[in-house]
Structure 1
């Protein structure tokens, strides 16, 4: 994990991507392959002279950087890193730092995965195999508030089957007060050990609560818990602990 200033205006392309707003552009690169981070940093330095680049080799390091409140404008995140399952890394950062847009830069190129990433909160998706011009355009569009998907890989996903689940508020109402406290902490990105420490209970008790939350909300993972409850008003459901 390190920070470096990208400075080489002489090598910038004639039409470098625009930067909205004032001040230095600050980007966070999250990938566990140092060589790819180096290549990505070089490409960004050419497109955005003067940009301030921060690097992390995992989700924990990324959260530490974002916790410092450095004014990160955009996070570029790989999905397939050691210790990260599925979209868990994306959901963790999105939940803890909802105001920082996330552009996925991944070797996974299936349209289904791209659309799932967007559904999990990504602001765009760029395959690692794209050229520098496409990467520059993706960063520029996301910084300007647009959603970026590669035109040649952005086929819409198959329609989802209608859900037979009860309304979310009804499912949440099934939870006990203690389970609501655990749910609130899961939404904050806390691990079982952290939850156990705050509630002063054992790890096994927290695991039991999480299992019951999964069952009562009719979901299969912590990631789904966060996604399904992302827009729920806990003040209206009695979950504002």
Structure 2
């Protein structure tokens, strides 16, 4: 469903006309807090929003159980900061079933994951517009979890980089051991490996013993089989 369709559906069902339409925003920066509230009210006149300067202020407020969504704006701070994480965890615990969404200037995937780990039901970077914030609030109040599209792009890029790396070669062997291992998996004899890599044959034997020990292989054939699983296919000239 598109963003416009979500907003239309919420409006048609009258959600903005009842008590469930109340939002709470928590932001320690007074100017940013007041500007945010005015922008939300100007674009969504039927939406009620109450602002607080801290989690403590919200906790002590008379209508803390009123909002259907709580927006915690941390600005330029990072969720990974102990003070921010502690404040978020406290808010989530006290909010109970009321979803908490983190607003932040950071688009780092690690911050998004940290926010979800702390119990937040959504993470919104400062690069999005007001309508996205409203859509995210609607989604989380319905039981969903919201993350921006940029998080998917970052995750796809991270997976792509991980796939492009040799599968465990650097983690298991030194550069010289890896060169010997590559030759070993192609069935080359010690003398040939020594000649190609400009090593003494005795050095090649030491490397092979080390490689077999790390692989827990009992013979060269077993070692070659396990090495083929470690080397990426594109590393093999035959492919």
Give the TM-score taking structure 2 as reference length. 0.52
Report how far residue 119 of structure 1 moved.
Answer: 1.3
Match of 2:108 in 1: 110
1:50 aligned to 2:46?
Answer: yes
Which residues of 2 match residues 171-182 of structure 1 at below 5 A? none
How many residue pairs get matched? Answer: 146
Larger fraction in helix: 2
Return the offset for 1:52.
Answer: 1.9
* Per-residue deviation, 1:81: 8.7
Partner of 2:34: 38
Residue deviations 1:40-90, cap 9 Å, x none? 21232244322222111112112112x645421111002369997131111
In structure 1, the partner of 2:148 is: 150
Q: Which runs of 5+ in 1 are unaligned?
A: 1-12, 160-241
Q: What is the alpha-carbon distance in structure 2 between the residues aligned to residue 108 and residue 41 of structure 1?
A: 21
**1:74 match:** 69
Which protein is bigger by CA-based radius of gyration? 2
TM-score, length-scaled by structure 1: 0.52
- CA deviation profile, 1:185-217 (whole Å, cap 9, x unmatched): xxxxxxxxxxxxxxxxxxxxxxxxxxxxxxxxx
Distance 1:46 1:136, change over 3 A: farther
Alignment of 1:126-145 (within 5 A): 126-145=124-143
Aligned residue in 2 for 1:223 = none
Which structure has more relative contact order (CA 8 Å, sep 6+)? It is 1
C-alpha distance in structure 2 between counterparts of 1:48 and 1:130, whole Å: 16
